[in-house]
Homo-oligomer: A and B are copies of this chain.
C-alpha cells in the first residue's frame, strides 16, 4: 500500500513573523507533509527578522480542494493578505470545507476579514483580541485552542504545542 503525502497550504506575505512560518513548515515537512507557500505573487517573501521563504504559487494558481490543511502564520503578513480579495476568499472557502485551519499570533486577522469567526472559540496575540470579539469570536488567552476545524495559538512561545496540534490534525485528515 502506497502512503499518500499530505499537502499543506501556508499563506504568506511580506513582513511575516519568521519563526511562525519556518518552524511549523519544518515540523510538518519532517512529518512527511508537503508544504506549499502561497503568496500574493510568486517569489521571495521577507520575514520581519530576515528569514526568506519563496511563494511557489499565487491564490489564482490553487484551489482550497488541493490541500489537506491551511496554516496562517502571524507578524505583518495577515494584514497584507486580508486586503487581497483572492486570499480572503481562499481562506473563507477553506474554513467552510471543514478541513483544519491553523492560525497563530496576528493570523486570525485574515479569519476576521474572511468573516468566519462568529461564534467560534479561539486565541491570538492579545493585541488583536478586541477585533476578534467585535468579529463575533470568543477570545480566550490560552497557548492552544481547538474549536472544530480551527486551531489557534498566541505567540512564538506557543509553537511547540501549535506544531503538535497541526501534526495531529493532519494525521486525522482522510485523503
Contact = CB atoms under 8 A, between A and B. Distances in A.
A18 interface: no
A80 interface: yes
Nearest to A134: B134
A83 B113 contact: no
Interface of A: 79-80, 82-83, 109, 112-113, 126-131, 134-135
A48 to B, nearest CB: 10
Contacts of A134: 112, 131, 134-135
A82 B135 contact: no
Contact of A130 (B113, B127, B130): B113
Contacts of A79: 127-128
Nearest to A128: B79
Contacts of A113: 130
A146 B149 CA distance: 42
Nearest to A129: B83
Nearest to A113: B130
